[in-house]
Amino acid sequence: GAVVSQHPSRVICKSGTSVKIECRSLDFQATTMFWYRQFPKQSLMLMATSNEGSKATYEQGVEKDKFLINHASLTLSTLTVTSAHPEDSSFYICSAPTTIAGGSGELFFGEGSRLTVL
């Protein structure tokens, strides 16, 4: 299946700093990528949709100025958590749908990034 790689897998930072997470599609082009957040023992909550060549779209309640998304190329999307606070500590996971003709648009997930803000 398609491969999505995410980096870093773990990051610990001080409150007030910014953290960048990268998501790459390794063997296919992804014009769209999705960013989810997962708190412990909870579901995956869609935060935003990253669109190559245009602005990201955010789900209701997600602060676009806090979670900056850049889709620099057809294989790379980045999520920057700006001025991170302890309540931003979570598991952030990106995904990309397959674009195989006739396919179902199955989502492939990155490994996830566990952010801990001290």
Partner 1 sequence: GENVEQHPSTLSVQEGDSAVIKCTYSDSASNYFPWYKQELGKRPQLIIDIRSNVGEKKDQRIAVTLNKTAKHFSLHITETQPEDSAVYFCAARRRDDKIIFGKGTRLHILP
Q: Quick check: 52 binds partner 1 (CB under 8 A)?
A: no
Q: Decide whether 14 or 41 has the Cβ nearer to partner 1.
A: 41
* Contact present, 89 and 74 (Cβ < 8 Å): no
Is 62 one of the binding residues for partner 1 (CB under 8 A)? no
And the tokens for 28?
């296919």
From CA 3, how far away is CA 20, in angstroms rounded?
A: 20
Residue 14 or 53 having the CB closest to partner 1 = 53
Identify the three-state secondary structure at position 82.
coil
Select from 7, 13, 28, 46 the one that contacts partner 1 (CB under 8 A). Answer: 46
Judged by CB under 8 A, the residue of 51, 68, 109, 116 near partner 1 is 109
Find, among 52, 83, 80, the residue nearest to 68 by Cα: 80
From candidates 30, 69, 93, 96, binder to partner 1 by CB under 8 A: 93
104 binding partner 1? (CB under 8 A): yes
Alpha carbon dihedral 40, 62, 86, 111, in 10-degree steps, equals 50
Interface with partner 1 (CB under 8 A): 32, 34, 36, 42-46, 49, 60, 93, 97, 104-107, 109-112, 114
